[in-house]
Structure 1
Amino acid sequence: MAEIVAAVGASHGPMLSIPPEHWDCFALTDPLNDELFDEHGIHRHYQELVTERATRVNGAVNLATWRALWQSWQDSLAALASLLDDAAPDLVVVIGNDQREAVYRDNQPSLLLHVGQELVDAPIESPEKVARRARSRARDLSEWAYSPARSSGHPGAPAFGEHLVRTLIDAGFDPSITDSWPGERSIGHAFGFVYQRLLTTREIPVLAVSLNTFYPPNQPTPRRCVALGQALVESLRAFPGAQRAAVIASGGLSHHVVDEGLDQHVIAALRDKDLDALAGLRPELLCGGSSEIRNWITMAPASHSLTLKIADYSACYRNSAGMGGGTGFFGWSA
């Protein structure tokens, strides 16, 4: 029976891995971004947001502010990596999402578990990556944090994967499974970031749980994410093949448009261990990059038996439209 010894929520956006002196790489693409949603979940155009937000956010759009935030993010990532190292798990569950890296529209499950012996982390150029590179230097500058220079394999957790599948089916879920990413595809940015920035000191068996956070119409609701997280905790505690488990949520918080109100609501619910508040979030608020908050909601039940040790949140604005990231690093341990 596995004891949950750590839970982590970590943002993984490209600004974390690009020094602020190079954030001009976003200047050409931000005005063309068609995944911009305001605090009401309404699709907006860049110039509309500039008109509404510039006066409020322009004071934070400067290099000195960016440098201070960026350094704090590096410190928090290092602290989370140390927390995980100290917790010494022998099994890690990573909850992330795919952005047309391993999963395409031809087969888009709401919930996908990687139950193979090995997770391949490779510098593979998906059509989505190629398109992003063509639009901006941001992907080139941040790629080191998402995938290795050479292909590598990491140990999977097939025994726990099969155990979790049975638990989820008993709980009324219908998970999809794979033992390898299809075709010439790799694990994707959400999972690669965890390897490159958090699990850096030793190889630990990982079960990758991929949620379809981004793409309608089959995104899991916040309430469903809470139930999934509860079933995951139950499954870990009943699994005889591990002693110490950690659960990591990769992604979030609000982006591409920063929504501090949404972020603070989620953070307060995490601090208060209030699953009802998380389950009650309106799905239409979890659009675009902010959809990755679903990963944190799914992680939340794993944190309930633990103590919050690391709590770092900042809202970083990189332009007058209020784009950037609600950036969070939270860690719980025994």
Structure 2
Amino acid sequence: MAKIVFGMAVPHSGMLGQKPEDWLNNAERDFKNPELWFRNRTWTYPELEAHRGKAFEQYLTIEERTARAKRCRAALDEMAAAYRRAKVDVAIILGKDQQEIFPHFSPSIAIYSGEEVHNGPPQRSVYAPDHHVVHKAHPKLASYLLETFQARGFDLTDLFAWPENVWMERQMKQKADYPVVPHAYSFVYHQIMGDEPPPHVPVLMNLFYPPTQPSMARCIEFGDVLRDAIEAWPEDVRVAVIASGGLSHFVNDEEFDQDILKKLASYDYEGLSAIPNGWFQSGTSEIKIYGTVMKALQHTGAEMTLVDYVPCWRTAAGTGEGMGFMYWDPER
């Protein structure tokens, strides 16, 4: 029977691929954003600065940015090492599409049941190698998961072919000859798996776009069914469940992140589910799939290993990304 032997939650921010000298370049986007989500509502940048002051200006020096970038790199290296130590045969990778392949509709939850996954240019270098690579998916396991979830009350989308990654053409002014996978998945392949992922199933959760977002409680329930399905899979394989995304962004909220980390470490499902959905919007919504991993791993008795938590700032009012690096290893 299949056995869950590893869980991970890892950020996939583009800042992780930038030189610290370039972090502040993203501030212009924040200044112009009329809907910066922070604590259950949207703010303009002037509103955010009026509310928070310039309390984070002290973290914008090149010395601070360089130190935090080094911590993030060290944490990513340890996450990749932990993944290698787990000797995984099969992976379930949880992420989302950010209107990269679904610009005109938003399926709530989709499972990719095709044969192959493509990565490479023009995807940015933090997410992909400098050449086209093709990875094996796991259509047999994907079809089994689709059937199992349907039987357990989930109405899912069967994604059996990757759509074109239109974000590449729209934002980067380049078009690939193959369907480049969304960045939530490519980051895991490139940074954690060294461009050699095992046969795996990408699960796409619509975390960003109302009204079809699954709630935190639903994402936790998804983890419950996922655990049962994997444990009942008749093949003798070692399985990893990996969440790509989070923590708070594009407005950093260190107090909120620390509370989330505490709840994750203690398997506090009620506490996570009690947080209003308005706190899980924009990039911060990616935290929801951390709950999926937590639920899928709890039965193993694994304790969460927090490698590091590094808030990375790009404006005085506190925009940026909270980088949380954590894994669950029952055999540790």
TM-score by length of 2: 0.90
Q: Contact 1:7 / 1:299 at 8 angstroms: preserved in 2? A: yes
1:301 aligned partner: 295
| Displacement after TM superposition at 1:201 (Å) | 6.5
Alignment of 1:102-181 (within 5 A): 102-105=101-104, 107-123=105-121, 143-181=124-162
The aligned amino acid for 1:308 is M
Unaligned 5+ segments in structure 2 are 166-178
The aligned amino acid for 1:7 is G
1:24 and 1:232 mapped to 2: Cα distance?
A: 40
Q: 1:181 to 1:35 in 2, by over 3 A?
A: farther
| Displacement after TM superposition at 1:252 (Å) | 0.5
The aligned amino acid for 2:114 is G
| Displacement after TM superposition at 1:242 (Å) | 4.4
| Displacement after TM superposition at 1:316 (Å) | 2.1
Alignment of 1:191-202 (within 5 A): 191-200=185-194, 202=196
Q: 1:275 to 1:242 in 2, by over 3 A?
A: farther
1:280 and 1:303 mapped to 2: Cα distance?
A: 21
Is the deviation greater in 116-125 or in 152-161? 116-125
Q: Contact 1:254 / 1:290 at 8 angstroms: preserved in 2? A: yes
- Asked if residue 313 in structure 1 is aligned to residue 294 in structure 2, the reply is no
2:55 and 2:297 mapped to 1: Cα distance?
A: 35
Is the deviation greater in 227-236 or in 47-56? 47-56
The aligned amino acid for 2:133 is S
2:50 aligned partner: 51
Q: Contact 2:97 / 2:205 at 8 angstroms: preserved in 1? A: yes
1:215 aligned partner: 209
TM-score by length of 1: 0.90
Q: 1:35 to 1:124 in 2, by over 3 A?
A: farther
- Asked if residue 231 in structure 1 is aligned to residue 225 in structure 2, the reply is yes
Unaligned 5+ segments in structure 1 are 126-142
The aligned amino acid for 2:6 is A
1:280 and 1:190 mapped to 2: Cα distance?
A: 26
| Displacement after TM superposition at 1:153 (Å) | 1.0
Q: Contact 2:78 / 2:307 at 8 angstroms: preserved in 1? A: no
Q: 1:7 to 1:212 in 2, by over 3 A?
A: same
- Asked if residue 253 in structure 1 is aligned to residue 208 in structure 2, the reply is no
Aligned-residue RMSD, C-alpha: 1.6
User: Any runs of at least 4 consecutive aligned residues in structure 1 with deviations exceeding 6 A, and if so which?
Assistant: none
The aligned amino acid for 2:73 is Q
2:214 and 2:199 mapped to 1: Cα distance?
A: 26
- Asked if residue 80 in structure 1 is aligned to residue 79 in structure 2, the reply is yes
1:272 aligned partner: 266
Give 3-state SS (helix, strand or coil) of 1:112's partner: strand
Q: Contact 1:90 / 1:242 at 8 angstroms: preserved in 2? A: no
2:43 and 2:163 mapped to 1: Cα distance?
A: 35
The aligned amino acid for 1:259 is D
Aligned residues: 315
1:28 and 1:310 mapped to 2: Cα distance?
A: 32
The aligned amino acid for 1:20 is P
The aligned amino acid for 2:119 is D
| Displacement after TM superposition at 1:245 (Å) | 0.4
